[in-house]
């Protein structure tokens, strides 16, 4: 059993509902539990929080994520993966990951977060931030 870590997200009020939805849609090893939500503050727990943090950063780049540890809150915004697999799909119809007969899992390199810039590992295409937001929200 991997220990759960506790986080606090401070984000602009108009992005909290979209962040909440995105966090709720994470499953499996990436699952998170939202414990408390206020106007501009979401608290959640996760055992493997990297994808949760990535989603939050793409949807709301100015939000601040802190980890609660021993009664302290510590900023963790740099604690993001270099690659992301499985939570996004490539918008390029010719990409190998878009072919129904190919069981290839989409994989993206995270080139930058603000603005969100992700590059498909297979076809090299950069995914437009609005496409990312549409897929994640
Ligand atoms: Zn692709």
Measured from the Cβ of residue 74, the count of other Cβ atoms closer than 10 Å reads 12
What's the pLDDT band for 112 if we cut at 50, 70, 90?
confident
Task: Please tell me the distance between residue 126's alpha carbon and the centre of ligand 1 in angstroms.
Answer: 8
Q: What is the pTM of this model?
A: 0.84
51-90 confidence digits (pLDDT tens)? 899 889 889 989 999 999 988 999 886 667 889 888 889 9
Pick the CATH number of 5-75 from 2.60.40, 3.30.310, 3.30.70, 3.90.1690: 3.30.70
Please state the domain extents for the chain: 5-75, 83-136
Q: And the tokens for 58?
A: 């793409």
Q: And the tokens for 26?
A: 């994470």
83-136 is classed CATH 2.30.33.40: no
Residue 23 predicted with pLDDT over 80: yes
Task: Please tell me the distance between residue 90's alpha carbon and the centre of ligand 1 in angstroms.
Answer: 5
Task: Please tell me the distance between residue 102's alpha carbon and the centre of ligand 1 in angstroms.
Answer: 13
pLDDT value for 19: 93
Task: Please tell me the distance between residue 61's alpha carbon and the centre of ligand 1 in angstroms.
Answer: 24
Residue 25 predicted with pLDDT over 90: no
Provide the CB-side half-sphere exposure for 30 (13 A, CA). 17
Task: Please tell me the distance between residue 27's alpha carbon and the centre of ligand 1 in angstroms.
Answer: 23
Task: Please tell me the distance between residue 86's alpha carbon and the centre of ligand 1 in angstroms.
Answer: 12
């Amino acid at each position: 059993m991997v220990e759960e870590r506790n986080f606090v997200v401070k984000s602009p009020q108009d992005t909290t509902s979209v962040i909440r939805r995105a966090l709720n849609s994470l499953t499996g090893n990436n699952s998170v539990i939202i414990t408390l939500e206020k106007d501009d503050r979401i608290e959640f727990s996760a055992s493997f929080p990297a994808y949760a943090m990535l989603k939050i950063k793409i949807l709301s780049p100015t939000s601040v994520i802190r980890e609660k540890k021993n009664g302290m809150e510590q900023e963790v915004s740099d604690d993001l993966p270099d690659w992301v697999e499985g939570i996004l799909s490539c918008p390029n119809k010719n990409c190998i990951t878009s072919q129904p007969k190919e069981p290839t899992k989409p994989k993206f390199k995270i080139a930058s977060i603000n603005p969100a810039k992700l590059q498909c590992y297979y076809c090299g295409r950069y995914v437009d931030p609005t496409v990312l937001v549409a897929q994640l929200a």
